């Protein structure tokens, strides 16, 4: 297993404008969820919810342009989708790709009630990143926060606790750096 640094996981708060963030959340609240996705078929995990977004120009063009502007990098979009986790649905450690030029941008799109509020740590739901076998790094799924990281980095979504009465939603853009 490769050794990573916490500096390899870039975290940005308030990544999208408030208006765009609300629009993202509205998309994620449509009744388009499928159940049964697993992050690594070779590892034990509980199935979770997923929603494909690759046919939505808002995500594939508009949001991708914002991502490229903010990160000052051109990307080829490989996929974009939303994941939903509720109590008892936890991912298993996995890589999104084994290529050096691939990256994942993960947006935590949770609205808590009708308002954008801070994520309460007692709700769980962290993204767990493996720096090496014995060193882990955690990111709380705070609303409108983004984690950008190499797709080769092992990670997984932690289950929410019983204290959180909703769905922990994230939107994942799978990206390849465009070297043209």
**Strands laid side by side in the 127-130 sheet:** 136-139, 127-130, 155-157
Domain boundaries, the chain: 6-177
Note if the pTM is more than 0.85: yes
Superfamily of domain 6-177: q2cbj1_9rhob like domain (2.60.120.620)
Residue 149: strand pairing partners? 104
Mind listing the pLDDT tens digit of every residue in the chain (180 residues)? 688 989 999 999 999 998 999 999 999 888 888 887 777 677 766 778 889 999 999 999 999 999 999 999 999 999 999 999 889 888 888 999 999 999 999 999 876 655 556 788 999 999 999 999 889 999 999 999 999 999 999 999 999 999 988 889 999 999 999 987
Token pair of 99 as six digits: 């290529």
In sequence order, the 6+-apart residues with CB closer than 8 A to the CB of 163 are 120, 122, 123, 124
């Amino acid at each position: 297993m490769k050794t990573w640094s916490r500096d390899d996981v870039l975290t940005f708060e308030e990544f999208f404008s408030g208006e765009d963030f609300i629009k993202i959340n509205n998309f994620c609240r449509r009744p388009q969820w499928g159940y049964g996705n697993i992050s690594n078929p070779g590892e034990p995990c509980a199935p979770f919810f997923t929603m494909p977004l690759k046919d939505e120009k808002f995500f594939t063009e508009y949001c991708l342009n914002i991502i490229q502007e903010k990160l000052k990098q051109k990307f080829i979009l490989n996929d974009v989708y939303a994941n939903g986790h509720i109590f008892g649905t936890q991912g298993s450690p996995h890589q999104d790709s084994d290529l050096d030029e691939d990256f994942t941008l993960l947006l935590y799109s949770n609205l808590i009630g009708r308002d954008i509020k801070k994520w309460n740590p007692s709700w769980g739901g962290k993204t767990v990143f493996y720096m090496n076998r014995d060193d882990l790094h955690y990111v709380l799924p705070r609303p409108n926060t983004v984690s950008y990281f190499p797709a080769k980095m092992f990670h997984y979504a932690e289950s929410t606790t019983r204290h959180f009465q909703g769905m922990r939603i994230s939107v994942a853009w799978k990206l390849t750096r465009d070297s043209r």
